[in-house]
Amino acid sequence: LEKSFTIQVINLPDVPTSLTLSGNVWEEQRPAGQLIGAFQTADPNPLDQHRYELISGEGSNDNWAFQIQGNQLVSQIIADYL
């Protein structure tokens, strides 16, 4: 049995080039629920949508202290460095 078929190669859009967080300071003794910063993704495709989440793995021990709401990183605890 022989069958002819066509393969169509679709050029996928460019992938995001960087991820940044607008803030990198978490002030001590501020109440839980404070905005730490907003994520922004540089993407050559302006129609792409991005979802941010905390994942498990190396460096994830303190994920419980944060929450992501949309593109914002928010504290879940009062920072106390003592």
pLDDT score for 1:
64
Mean pLDDT over 27-54 rounds to: 90
* CA-closest candidate to residue 68, choices 55, 57, 82, 56: 55
pLDDT score for 54:
93
Minimum mean pLDDT among 25-29, 31-35, 39-43, 71-75: which range?
A: 25-29
Provide the pLDDT confidence category of residue 74 given band limits of 50, 70 and 90: very high
CA 75 to chain centre: 15
Taken in order 35, 41, 47, 51, is the CA torsion positive or negative?
negative
What whole-number distance in Å separates Cα of residue 16 and Cα of residue 3?
39
- The token pair that represents 46 in the structure block: 């302006």
Which backbone phi and psi does 69 adopt, to 5 degrees? -120, 105
